[in-house]
Amino acid sequence: MEIENEIYDTVKWDLKQAKAKAFLRKWEERRKSKMKFAFLHGSLDWRSLLLGAIIVYYNLHNDRMELTVGTSIVALLIILGGGFLSGLFRYKKMESLYQQYLRNIEK
H or E stretch covering 55: helix 46-61
Higher pLDDT: 95 or 69? It is 95
pLDDT of residue 55: 78
63 phi-psi bin (left φ>0, alpha ψ -120 to 50, beta other): left
In tens, the pLDDT along 2-59 reads 555 655 556 566 667 778 788 888 888 888 999 999 998 888 887 888 887 887 777 7
Q: What is the CA radius of gyration of the chain?
A: 21
Q: What is the pTM of this model?
A: 0.71
Task: Catalogue the long-range contacts made by 4-13 (C-beta closer than 8 Å, 24 or more residues apart).
Answer: none
Q: How far is CA 95 from the centre of its chain?
A: 12
Length of the chain: 107
